[in-house]
Structure 1
Amino acid sequence: MAVLKVIEVLSSSEKSWEDATKNAVAHAGKSLKNIRSVYVKEQSASIKDNQVHEFRVNVKITFEVE
């Protein structure tokens, strides 16, 4: 039986929400092993000069505890 743990991570990107999600997983992967899934809980964006400046995501990352 596997034991799974979920953490919540905030991440951002100047490109897209998809890139922000990839950044969150890549950064979490530096200290976590056995990442199983990512769930995008919330999306938002910051605006600068009437343009989207930064895409932000709040994600839940699930990983297996060894």
Structure 2
Amino acid sequence: MGVLKVIEVLANSNKGWEDAARNAVAHASKTVKHIRSVYVQEQSATVTNGEISQYRVNVKITFEIEE
């Protein structure tokens, strides 16, 4: 294993926190290669008319830097 780097990503979903985390990884993987792990740092949600309308996550994504 070489050098690892960590980036912070915010993502959301109307399905749930797990889906929001998947969205974060899917979006980051479009430009970041060699993703090794994701750490969910924070979870939150927005409420509309007494119901959760958006699930939000703040994640840290770790990836290996190419040599």
Same-fold call, TM > 0.5? yes
What is the aligned-residue identity percentage?
65
TM-score (normalizing by structure 2)? 0.97
Residues 1:39 and 2:39 are matched in the alignment: yes
The residue that corresponds to 1:53 in the other structure is 53
Q: What displacement does 1:39 show?
A: 0.0
Which runs of no fewer than 5 residues in structure 2 stay unpaired? Answer: none
Deviations 1:11-32 (A, max 9, x none): 0000000000000000000000
CA distance in 1, matches of 2:19, 2:12: 8
Which runs of no fewer than 5 residues in structure 1 stay unpaired? Answer: none
Residues 1:30 and 2:30 are matched in the alignment: yes
TM-score (normalizing by structure 1)? 0.98
Deviation above 2 Å: which 4+ runs of structure 1?
A: none
CA distance in 2, matches of 1:32, 1:16: 24
Residue correspondences, number: 66
CA distance in 2, matches of 1:32, 1:47: 32
CA distance in 2, matches of 1:3, 1:10: 23
